[in-house]
Each structure stands twice: as structure tokens, then as C-alpha cells.
Amino acid sequence: MPASACRVLRRHRRSIDTFFVYLAHFGLHEFPFGLTPDTSYFFPGIGAQAALNTLLVALDSGEGLIKIVGEVGSGKTLLCRYLLNQLEKQGWAAAYIPNPHLTPAALNQALLSEFSGDIKRSVSYGFTKALEMRLLELAQSGTPAVALIDEAQAMPLESLEALRLITNLETEKRKLLQIVLFGQPELDTRLADPSVRQIRSRIVFHECITPLVAHETPVYLTHRVTQAGAAGPLFNPAAAKQLHRLSRGMPRLLNILAHKTLLLAYGEGRAQAEPRHVRLAARDTPGAHLAWWQYLLRAT
């Protein structure tokens, strides 16, 4: 990367005041390409919408276990939290487990806590029974219950088996608890283990979140900057095309590249980012899919 571009990015990263001027320059009230999964920025792309549709149909039909898989940075956590918000608005009792690397007992305790269960019961009955009693209370009140488990590929095998036991809990008409597993492709490898074949056989609905396709990326970029306050697109069509190629449509990498691209455009006083800004940002970004000759330039 040319030294001047490096200096621009490094200088802007260090200065808080610069960021306020940067926002004002583009007419923004907040940063449009943050990595925190903010549900107000949820974009119903083809892959995300297909997964959301599958989830809504599966949950409405009362299926016990659902699986959503996606590569790192594909938007699984954002989808998970968006679904959580939607279900809570519809009156569901929803548990969110962001870090499921838990023992079976700790998992049941976490679920009991998320469903506002009586922890005192666990002293007499244990966490599993106390959880069952709480789920029965919810069912009797007509409140459907769902557990959303993020990063499910990190779950120990014995905890996956514990989930199977939970899916056994049911009334005559439906499951007491529906479970959605969100995970990286390694989740499929984990579920292929013979020791958890029973839970694998109970996954009726599953979906894979795919990256944004080429025509979606300009719409995605405009959606995010408009949500953040911009009056119009901040990337010209050629720049948006470059961003798609270099990120291959993966939202997290796309966000990183877009943020750096806008910093470079701001450093030149430009109202819109151009392809050269994208190329410079990519050469400062590990993971960007550069052409072979661009890798040589990065090394110089």
C-alpha cells in the first residue's frame, strides 16, 4: 500500500475528533459499517431471507430442532438477534445463548435463567427438572418457548445430547421448547459424530446462509449508509462492484472494507468513494480477495 494511504488510515484510526468530522462529511449520524450486530441494519438478502423464512415456517409448525449454518462473517449472529427481537414482539418466551461452550448442567441453568425460572427450585429438583417445570408453566399460559443458540459448533458433545433430552419434553400437541442452532460449517462435522446421531435425526429444518450476490451488494451498501443518515449512495457503482469482488459478498469483510474505503475517500474530501479507494483499503485488509499482482504490491 502506498505510504500516503497508510498514513491516512492510521491517522484516522487514532483520532476520535476525526470520526466526528468524518460523520458530518458524509451526512451520517453513526457509523454505518460497524461489526456489532445491530438489528436495525438487518438486510434481507437472498441468503438471509431464505434462512429467516425457514425459521419462521419451522417455528410456526412447532418443530423441535432447527439448524442454520453459515461461514464466518456471513451474518449468523445478526440473523439470530433479529429473529430474537421479532419473536419477543410476538409474545414468545425466547432464550439467547451466545456462548454455548457449557456443561449440560450449566446449559440447563442458563436456559432456566433466560426463561426467568425459579432458581430456588433447582436446589430441590436440579436444573433439568426445574427447567421442565418452567417450560410447563409457559405452555399452560399459552406462551411458546424457543432457545436460540449461537456459535453452536462450540458445544461439547455431551451438551448436544442434553439438548436432545430437552426436545423430548412435550405436551400432547407441541414441544415445550423449540431450539434453533446457529453455527459455522464445523457444526455439521460435530453433528456427524455417532454419539449425537439421535439429535441429528431430529433436525427437520435446516438452512445455509449464503453470501450476498453481486447485484445485492450496492443495495446493501446503500441500505446501511441510508440507515446511518446519508442522503444517498456513498459508493459509486464501480466502487460497489469492487467491494463485492474483494469481499465475495461476505457481510463482515464487506463492512470492514467499506469502512476503510470511506475513510480514504474522506481523507481526499470526496463525497463518494471510488474504485481506487476500495483497492487501497483492500491492500490494508487481511482476508480481502486480491489479485496476485495486488498481493505483490501489498508486500512492497
Angle at 243 between CA 271 and CA 294, to 5 degrees: 110
Identity of the amino acid at 72? V
Q: How confident is the model at residue 43 (pLDDT cuts 50, 70, 90)?
A: very high
Predicted pLDDT at 158: 95
Distance (Å, rounded) from C-alpha 134 to C-alpha 177?
A: 11
pLDDT exceeds cutoff 80 at 120: no
pLDDT exceeds cutoff 60 at 1: no
- In which residue ranges of the chain is CATH 3.40.50.300 found? 46-209
Between the CA atoms of 266, 268, 273 and 279, what dihedral angle is there, to the nearest 10 degrees? -110
Three-class DSSP category at 61: coil
CATH of domain 46-209: 3.40.50.300
Identity of the amino acid at 71? E
Give the model confidence (pLDDT) of 234-282 as tens digits: 999 999 999 999 999 999 999 999 999 999 999 999 999 999 999 999 9
Q: How confident is the model at residue 170 (pLDDT cuts 50, 70, 90)?
A: confident
Predicted pLDDT at 289: 81
Predicted pLDDT at 127: 86
Closest CA to 179 of 205, 217, 198: 205
Predicted pLDDT at 118: 73
DSSP alpha helix (H) spans, 90-156 = 104-114, 119-125, 127-140
Distance (Å, rounded) from C-alpha 109 to C-alpha 16?
A: 42
Distance (Å, rounded) from C-alpha 217 to C-alpha 198?
A: 40
